Amino acid sequence: MEPYKDQLQELYNRIPRRHTAENVQAINAIVVEYENILGRIESISPAYEKNTAVFYPSLELIRENIKASNSNKYAKKAKDGLFDQASGTLKDDIQSLMAVYEEGNKM
């Protein structure tokens, strides 16, 4: 079961912090990979299913912030803030998911 922990750590390490067009593409790819891993962990057992449900609403917020950070409606500073918020939330969620996964492995 360790591969998920390693995969999550690798995603965490790849999350960009600065807003650029390339980083928007990179973080979108990371979000897709993260969601796939989240779904696989969720399907391991009912306990994981219960404990991973909290990550899905946050995932939608992350996606919305990334999309908004790429919108022409906002100034550069606002785009940077939205991207920072999305990347920070994604990092926090990945760390939390790693903790949930670790705790489940101890059972």
Domain of 54, CATH number, reads 1.20.120
Give the global pTM: 0.92
pLDDT in tens, 10-62: 999 999 999 999 999 999 999 999 999 999 999 999 999 999 999 999 999 99
Distance CA 80, CA 32 (A): 21
Range of the domain at 23: 2-105
**Number of domains forming the structure of the chain:** 1
Distance CA 65, CA 62 (A): 5
In angstroms, how far is CA 4 from the centroid of its own chain?
Answer: 14
Q: Which two tokens stand for residue 86?
A: 């999305």
